[in-house]
Amino acid sequence: MTFETKKLSQSEKILLAASECISTRGYANVSMRDIANEAGVVLSQINYYFNNKEGLFKEVIKMVVDKYKHEIEEILKAENSPKERIKLLITHFKKTLKNNPKFIKLLYEFTELALWSPAFSDLLRNLYKELSEIIEKYILNNLQFKNKKEISTKSISRLIIGSLFGTGIQVLLENDGDDDRLNEVLDAMQMLFE
């Protein structure tokens, strides 16, 4: 996921700087002054636009979450076949994990914040809920499963999201550059839909 560069307003500069700082250093290690320096603004501008660190981070989460959901939906619309769509989803995740690990780290950082802070939990709950709904809509609703027990498509979509992000955590922690292992794990998920 990348953000288009255009003439940015002060608030957009601050949001992008905050997302960069968080993805590089983590929420706990980032101060408002760090963000102001990264954005090239004075500290009071952050308070003017966002009131406080929590307000700023909520807006960063909204920005990243909205862009990511839109990106995933657009990718899945590119194909008609549910099996091809799951391939696109997995391929996109592989590329993002390899080429933009800071973005994946940002999602993990937001998720960790949501686990401990009610102020952030609704935002992340909605992200995972809406990603699940997108997967159901574009992939699972048109697939026939050899399912002896009735397992809902909602449960399967949550399993897909959990598998992608769980694998991502393992890859980032291992950080040994073993792309073959990543490909093997994610290809195994893809095989489940063939």
129 or 2, higher pLDDT: 129
| Tokens, residue 124 | 């992340």
Reported as a pLDDT band with limits 50, 70 and 90, residue 170 is confident
pLDDT at position 5 over 50: no
Q: Specify whether the CB–CB gap between 164 and 93 falls below 8 A.
A: yes
Q: What is the pLDDT of residue 26?
A: 87
pLDDT digits (tens, 9 = 90+) for 31-57: 999 999 999 999 999 999 999 888 999
pLDDT digits (tens, 9 = 90+) for 106-147: 888 899 889 998 888 988 999 999 999 999 999 888 766 555
Give mean pLDDT, residues 78-102. Answer: 87
Helix/strand/coil percentages in the chain, nearest 5 = 80, 0, 20
Q: Specify whether the CB–CB gap between 22 and 106 falls below 8 A.
A: yes
